[in-house]
Structure 1
Amino acid sequence: MHIDNAIRTRKSVRRFRPDSISREVIEHILELAARAPSGNNVQPWHVHVITGIAKLELCSDILAAAREDASAHEPEYAYYPTEWFEPYQGRRREVGFSLYNRLGIGRGDRDARDTQMLRNFQFFDAPVGLLISLDRRLSTGSYIDLGMFIQNILLAARGQGLHTCAQAAFAGYHRVIRDHLPLAEQDILVCGIALGYEDPEAPENGLITGRAPVSDFAAFHGFED
């Protein structure tokens, strides 16, 4: 797949087919992803790949914890601001409303919205989940490096005809995850990634989020008209 097409067709898939993925394909994706740049080539990423019974048991325990008291589970880093402001608040609301509209969930239907949120913790039915962590002793630059590594995973997956969904929601349940996986004590859980084949019949997978035009976020200097 041409890199332009991989970038343009990458999207957050929220319902997957159950088709399995071989370990060889996953290792190939991770090998490509590890070509991401990092400051002084420190390569700060760690990945736990989970499937089968191990994934089902982990998902079951996270769902139970979320249903019992989601407020008791917090990530070890701040992903979002404590107070939203424009233009980011508007973009956030637009994608949320668009997703719920596709699913037929009304704005006031809190129960249905919560049910959809909990699907995160089943990796949206994907057969493979990746859990991405970073050594907490590193600093902000390594988060930038990790972001490029994660993007490489998403694009390399497209090259194999697969889709993904990057999921910060898992970060809040790091204590539950540590009960299932040998996540190093010095590692901070950053996100999960669902990996699999898209269910093309699912209405939520028809959501293609918009992007601001280049003129909104880029300034060009020294160019002649």
Structure 2
Amino acid sequence: MNVEDALHARRSVRAFLPRVPDGALVRRLLHAASRAASGGNMQPWRVTALTGEPLQRILSAVATAAPQENALSYPPSLWEPYRSRRFENGEELYRTLGIGRDDKPARLEQLGRNGQFFGAPVGIFVCVDERMGQPQWADLGIYLQSLMLLAVEQGLATCAQGFWRRFGDTVAAQLNMPAGYSVAFGIALGWEDVEAPINALRATRADPEEWLELQGF
């Protein structure tokens, strides 16, 4: 598998098999992803992977915690074309589950599965020093993409989740993070449950004519 193949194969998986990946493999993936580009070679990520009882302890703590009001995954009052892209993706996701637009309890139940890493046997938290700026957050994104592509190469599935910022204080306390560190995102990792209806979702991408421009070619 080459990089382009992995890029096309990667997607957000939201139902996993219970089989736990070998710890040595998980460590190798997390380590290899640190070759991601990083401005000034600062490598601003701090990464913790959990499974078994340590993971369940965090999931239980989050289940009873109140979300942080200032931890948004998206800008408020989204504008076009971003509003429509997000709306259409959400509708397609719920359609795979047969959940109607007016079925608020079912939608909230599915939203709550974010807080269980969608049943993934491995949960990964990437944290960052709160003093870091936008350039270092870009580095975190490069680390994230590198990790997800490496996982695809090994036949593993992932789902990156900004959701965990809503419970960042709770997670950071459970992880005994140093003072001043916050959760940037979580990553569900494991083997895809290919029979789960929700994994039939294939998100589209905008036509390059909407966002791509070449000059001088």
| TM-score, with structure 1 as normaliser | 0.93
How does 1:29-48 map onto structure 2 within 5 Å? 29-48=29-48
8 Å CA contact 1:136–1:186 kept in 2: the answer is yes
Residue 101 (1) aligns with residue 95 (2): yes
Distance 1:32 1:214 in 2: 31
In structure 1, what is the equivalent of residue 27 of structure 2?
A: 27
Runs of 5+ unmatched residues, structure 2: none
8 Å CA contact 1:74–1:173 kept in 2: the answer is no
How does 1:199-218 map onto structure 2 within 5 Å? 199-218=193-212
SS of aligned partner of 1:179: helix
Alignment counterpart, residue 165 of structure 2, candidates 163, 167, 171: 171
Q: Deviations over 1:87-115 (max 9, x none)?
A: 00000000000000110111011100010
Distance 2:116 2:202 in 1: 22
User: Identity over the aligned pairs, expressed in percent?
Assistant: 39
SS of aligned partner of 1:34: helix
How does 1:83-102 map onto structure 2 within 5 Å? 83-102=77-96
| TM-score, with structure 2 as normaliser | 0.96
Give the aligned length: 217
Distance 2:138 2:173 in 1: 28
In structure 2, what is the equivalent of residue 133 of structure 1?
A: 127
8 Å CA contact 2:14–2:198 kept in 1: the answer is yes
SS of aligned partner of 1:133: strand
SS of aligned partner of 2:183: strand
How does 1:47-86 map onto structure 2 within 5 Å? 47-65=47-65, 69-70=66-67, 73-74=68-69, 78-86=72-80
**1:51 deviation in Å?**
0.7
Runs of 5+ unmatched residues, structure 1: none
**1:137 deviation in Å?**
1.3
Q: Deviations over 1:14-44 (max 9, x none)?
A: 0000011111111111122101111111111
CA RMSD, 1 decimal? 1.2
> Compared with structure 1, are the counterparts of its residues 184 and 74 closer, same or farther at alpha carbon in structure 2 (3 Å cutoff)?
farther
**1:174 deviation in Å?**
1.6
> Compared with structure 1, are the counterparts of its residues 75 and 197 closer, same or farther at alpha carbon in structure 2 (3 Å cutoff)?
farther
Distance 1:57 1:135 in 2: 24
8 Å CA contact 2:63–2:115 kept in 1: the answer is yes
